[in-house]
Each structure stands twice: as C-alpha cells, then as structure tokens.
Amino acid sequence: MRKFLISLVAATMFTAALPVGNTFAQDNSGKTIADIVVSMATAKDKPEFTTLLAIVKAADPAFLKELSDKNATLTVFAPTDAAFAASLKSMNLQAADVLKNQALLDEVLSYHIVSGVALDAATITADSGAVVGTVLDENVLSLKAAGGKVTINNANVVTADVKAVNGVVHVIDSVLLPADLTAPAATMAAPMATMSATMAAAPKSSIADLVVAAASAKDKPEFTTLLAAVKAANPAVLTALSTGGPFTVFAPTDAAFAAALKTLNLTADKLLADKGLTGILLYHVIPGHISAATLVAAIGTTGVKVVTLAGSVLSFNVKAGKVVINDGPTVVTTDVEADNGLVHVIDGVLLPPTK
C-alpha cells in the first residue's frame, strides 16, 4: 500500500507540472478530438493546431473519420504550430509542398496516434521507461517522466490531459518522426518462431475472426477458453478485436488457461464471472501492429516494457532464445496476421499487477 501511495503522489506531482494552459482550458464536453483541433485552429484569440488541422484534412480521410468517432478510444500527441514550423525549417521543407505528399502525411500522423487506450499524464508517468505502439505499423514511442517533465521520444509534453469524448490529447513541442524519416531503418532481428501451417493458411481476417476460427476448428481446436472469456467480458473487447486497432494480441492457449486455473484454484465458470476478466483480457493486448522482429529489436539486451490496453505494462526479455513475458509465459508462435493487427501465441496467462 505504501508503495502505491508513493507512486500516486509522484504521478500527481508530474501531472501538476504539466499545466493545461488557458488556450486549452475550454469546455470540451461532448467534443471529439477532431472537434478540439478544429475549434483551436479556428479560434480568434491565439489559434493553435492550424498546421495539424491542415495535415488531417490533406491526409487519408480515414484519420478524420477516426478522430471524429465518438466510440473510438485514442491518445493523440499533438505538436504545436511552432513545433511544425521548426521541423519544416530543420528539414528545409515548405508546408505547401509537404501537404501535397499524402503518403508522408499519413506516416507522420500515424506516428502521433495510439489506438485503443486513453493514456493520461498519470498513467504515462506510472509507465515511465516503457514504449507504446502507434497506429504506424512496427513503430513505437518511448515514454519518460523525470524531473517534473514528461517526454515522448524527444518531445516535451507542454500541456497534458486535454480530454475528449473519444480519448485524450497531449500537446507537445516537437514533431515526432519515425525512424525511416530520420535515419536508415535498423536491421530487424529474425522472427522468434514460425507460425503453424494451419494459421499461415488461414484467410486474412480480424483478430476476433482468427480466434473464432481456431476455437471452432474440427481438428485440434484452440483458443476455446480465450473465446469464451472474450464473449463473457465487456462487449467493447469483442468490438475492439473485430473492428478496432491496429492491435497486437498475446493469446494464451487452452493449456495455458487450464494451468492458470489450476494454480489459482479457480474453475472456468468462476473466471468467466470474475469482474476483473475484462482487465485481464486488455492486459494481453498492446496498441499497434508489433511483429516478432520489431519486438525482439526493442528488447535488445536489456529488455523492454510495453504499454497494454489496460494502461499497465508488460515486461519482455529474451532467455535461452525465447521471448519471455513478465518472467513467466513464453511466446510459442508469432506473427499470425489479421486485418486489424496480429496475434502472438503464448504458453501462459498474463495477470495484471494488483494495486
């Protein structure tokens, strides 16, 4: 309890150090993130996000649709106009030319959005040192809180927790650029394991579809307990795995669930009726499309912590040639592709930290 209280006080101190300035301290009740960007960009007094709005309008229409979706859950790191101006100057580019390059705009915009979780300043502070996946496939952002400051990669959060009905906006003082726009792409490590022939042959579909197909297979069905858990949890979980994303799911096998139930002295029925079931499932999902190669590269020699849809983190390391999660379950099958992300199969159940 003492450790939790200390963490809570620290998080509060960091959050207090990130003011919601007068420019952003407006009533955002009922507003989506898109609404906030538009209202700020068109404000008569000290307009902001004019460049961001121009980028959203010039990018793929799917971005505006998602930022306008009241049912979405997003975290957006929004660079100021001054941040965009500085970035363009450093790269010797003109805004008019950049706005004509939709592919570039899509890539940069994707790198500023996290799907499936609204990370407030307190959560980011608690997850300091971790990375979080973005809408841009195979790209993560580094989160750090120290000395009363929160940074995302090398950008400082200057205004935190601008709340919207579909998530949260954090204003940053620099533009976030993915690695391929700043340096040659690093060589990715080889996948940890090959996917099974059955999964490899499966038609591309949503993550939910993959789980349903595997659980209903006549020959060696798998994920039957996982499917039952998804059905018993908050309906938002099934919706997210069906239409949301991109997400990366660490899917426990039926044997993994059986072992966990035995260890916890629980029956399957008790697990499915547990109020914490939704939180357990969200702890198995991370934002973004994160392949085995990207994960191994991020782990490196020191390990890596990755933010989940539950807001807390998973710890990854490589031991004896295997990727180990939270010093327990290992990844046994990787890179099962879906339309809205991918699945890595694991041999254990991941339990969220208790407060």
pLDDT at 12: 38
pLDDT at 148: 85
Average of per-residue pLDDT across 236-263: 96
User: What are the E-state strand segments in 308-353?
Assistant: 313-319, 322-325, 331-338, 341-346
Kindly give the pairing relationship between strand 140-146 and strand 149-152: antiparallel
Binning pLDDT at 50, 70 and 90, where does residue 242 land? very high
pLDDT at 13: 37
| Residue 72 exposure: Cα atoms within 13 Å on the Cβ side | 24
Neighbours of 203 (CB within 10 A): 7
Q: Is pLDDT above 90 for 122?
A: yes
- 6/32: higher pLDDT: 32
pLDDT at 23: 55
Whether domain 197-346 has CATH 2.30.180.10: yes
* Measured distance CA(100)–CA(340) in Å, rounded: 27
Binning pLDDT at 50, 70 and 90, where does residue 186 land? very low
* Measured distance CA(230)–CA(240) in Å, rounded: 11
Q: Is pLDDT above 80 for 340?
A: yes
pLDDT at 179: 84
In the chain, domain spans: 2-182, 197-346
> Tell me: the pLDDT tens digits for 221-234?
999 999 999 999 99
pLDDT at 293: 95
The reply to whether domains 2-182 and 197-346 share a CATH topology is yes
Instruction: Tell me what percent of the residues of the chain surpass a pLDDT of 90.
Output: 81
Helix, strand, or coil here: 196? Answer: coil
> Tell me: the pLDDT tens digits for 281-327?
999 999 999 999 999 999 999 999 999 999 999 999 999 999 999 99
pLDDT at 26: 63
Which residues, in sequence order, are CB contacts of 250 under 8 Å at separation 6+?
A: 284, 285, 286, 314, 325, 329, 331, 343, 344, 345, 346, 350
Binning pLDDT at 50, 70 and 90, where does residue 169 land? very high
Q: Is pLDDT above 80 for 27?
A: no
- Bridge partners (DSSP) of residue 114 are 75
Whether domain 2-182 has CATH 1.20.1270.30: no
